[in-house]
């Protein structure tokens, strides 16, 4: 696991966008894993800028979102399918239908989850997965206690996650859905490169467990310690509880330019 402590969200966006650009240059039909929430916004903004500058195209690429609330009406602005369009997909040149998400309105939820797994597999798997992390250590919406081998399925959101996400629902925690569909930890772990972004003090405890804690379903993101290619991009505040932070800084400073992340 590579840990990179950067100045701010802008730097994080630039470094992550460099990795996406390098991938699309060598594989224009790459499959991107797309997180929603606030953490990846600077990445999406940077990718949009590069697209607008003519440096990047998503015309042959595909995207899969991580998760979706269950039961939010199709026209609800916080539906993740709508959110990813607004913050990223509709701002670049993805082909129609190239970005997919789990169907939180499906009548047959297990069938919808299986179909989503099949769609990811049929696309050849995710080349680069962008992730945020919840204050309780979730990735996707794999809340504490999730099986480290889990696949796409329905989950109940913790009270903490609903409180954290109430800011998107006029600060009304009761308006945040109780259930979601999420790629499982086993599903996410199959992505070839994982870029996890965390900023702010509120994420420091989860980041501490992710990077330096024991692997445990109580902190679901720790499953990433088993993955061969994970890059964790942090600001100072999110890195403040890391015991080896000086080592991570020194390692990144002395890294050869050609290596990328
Ligand atoms: C969103 C997702 C979640 C978020 C996490 C952090 O698709 O899968 O795991 O990444 O809840 O959310 P933010 O970035 O809003 O702090």
Residue-level pLDDT at 160: 95
Reduce the secondary structure of 43-107 to three states and give it as a string: HHHHHHHHHHCCCCCCCCCEEEECEEECCCCCCCCCCHHHHHHHHCHHHCCCCCCCEECCCCCCC
Mutate which of 133, 142, 157, 180 for ligand 1? The one with the most ligand atoms within 8 Å of its CB, which is 133
Write the DSSP symbol of residue 157: P
Q: What is the mean pLDDT of residues 173-187?
A: 98
Asked whether the predicted pLDDT for residue 131 surpasses 90, the reply is yes
Q: What is the mean pLDDT of residues 132-146?
A: 97
- Report which secondary-structure segment, H or E, holds 248: helix 245-253
Q: What angle (nearest 5°) sits at the alpha carbon of residue 130, between those of residues 4 and 189?
A: 95
Q: What is the pTM of this model?
A: 0.97
Residues 62-109 have pLDDT tens digits of 999 999 999 999 999 999 999 999 999 999 999 999 999 999 999 999
> Can you list the domains of the chain with their CATH numbers?
2-254 (3.40.50.1360)
SS3 state of residue 142: strand
Residue-level pLDDT at 259: 87
Rounded to whole angstroms, the Cα distance separating 196 from 205 reads 15
Residues 12-70 have pLDDT tens digits of 999 999 999 999 999 999 999 999 999 999 999 999 999 999 999 999 999 999 999 99
| 225 confidence band (pLDDT: 50, 70, 90) | very high
Mutate which of 35, 126, 191 for ligand 1? The one with the most ligand atoms within 8 Å of its CB, which is 35
Of residues 213, 234, 210, 243, the one with CA closest to residue 224: 210
Instruction: Tell the residue nearest (CA) to atom 12 of ligand 1.
Output: 37
């Amino acid at each position: 696991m590579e840990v990179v402590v950067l100045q701010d969200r802008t730097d994080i966006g630039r470094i992550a966008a460099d990795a996406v650009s390098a991938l699309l240059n060598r594989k224009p039909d790459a499959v991107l894993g797309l997180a929603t929430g606030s953490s990846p916004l600077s990445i999406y903004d940077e990718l949009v800028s590069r697209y607008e500058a003519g440096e990047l195209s998503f015309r042959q690429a595909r995207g899969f979102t991580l998760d979706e609330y269950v039961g939010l009406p199709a026209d609800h602005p916080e539906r993740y399918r709508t959110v990813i369009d607004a913050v990223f997909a509709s701002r670049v040149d993805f082909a129609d239908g190239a970005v997919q998400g789990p169907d939180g309105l499906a009548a047959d939820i297990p069938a919808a989850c299986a179909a989503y797994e099949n769609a990811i597999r049929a696309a050849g798997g995710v080349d680069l997965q962008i992730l945020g992390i919840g204050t309780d250590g979730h990735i996707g919406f794999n809340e504490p206690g999730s099986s480290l081998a889990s696949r796409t399925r329905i989950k109940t959101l913790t009270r903490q996650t609903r409180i954290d996400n109430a800011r998107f629902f006029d600060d009304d925690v009761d308006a945040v859905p109780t259930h979601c569909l999420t790629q499982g930890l086993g599903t996410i772990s199959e992505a070839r490169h994982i870029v996890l972004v965390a900023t702010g003090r509120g994420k420091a405890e989860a980041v501490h467990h992710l990077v330096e804690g024991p692997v445990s379903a109580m902190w679901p993101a720790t499953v990433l310690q088993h993955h061969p290619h994970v890059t964790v991009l942090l600001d100072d505040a999110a890195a403040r509880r890391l015991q080896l932070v000086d080592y991570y800084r020194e390692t990144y400073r002395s890294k050869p330019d050609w290596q990328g992340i």
